[in-house]
Amino acid sequence: GWCPLSPTGAQTTQLLVEPQWRPAVLWDQVTLTCQGLGTSGATTWYKDGRRWWEGPDHFTVTTSGTYMCDRPGTGLSDAVTVLNDRVVLQVSPRMLLEGDTLTLRCRV
C-alpha cells in the first residue's frame, strides 16, 4: 500500500475522511479511516481532545465533534472536525494553486 512520508522521512498517522468535502458534515454519513503502522485493532480514537475508545481502523461518525486517531509507531493524526450545522459552505479538498478554479457547495 501507499504510505505518505513526513518531511523527516518517518511514517505518520493519517486520518482519511469520506466523503472528502470540507468541512465534513454529520448528515453526509462521514466515515473516518485511520492509516498507519500496527494492526487495525490497535487504533486509539480521540474525540474533542479526550481519549474516546479503542477499536477498528474505521467507523461511521454518529455525533459531531473533533476527531483524531493514534496508531502504534506513527503517533497521533491531524484533527478532523465533523459539523452538524444547518447550513455549510464546503470546498473540495484537492490542492489548489493561485488562479485555479474553486468549486464551492452550499449545503442546507
Identify whether 73 is part of a domain. Answer: yes
Indicate whether 5 belongs to any domain: no
Work out how many domains the chain is built from and give that number.
1
**What is the per-residue pLDDT across 12-36, written as a single tens digit (0 to 9) for each?**
899 999 999 889 999 999 999 999 8
- pLDDT tens digit string along 49-77? 999 999 899 999 999 999 999 988 788 99
**Confidence class for position 2, pLDDT limits 50, 70, 90:** very low
Give me 53's grid cell: 475508545
Q: What is the pTM of this model?
A: 0.80
Distance CA 60, CA 62 (A): 6
**Residue 88 within any structural domain of the chain:** yes
The rounded distance, in Å, linking the Cα atoms of 8 and 2 is 17
pLDDT tens digits along 76-93:
999 999 999 989 898 887
Look at residue 11 in the predicted model and tell me its pLDDT. Answer: 64
Domain housing 51: 14-107
CATH number (domain holding residue 88): 2.60.40.10
Q: Report if residue 30 sits inside a domain.
A: yes
Please check whether residue 26 lies inside any domain of the structure.
Answer: yes
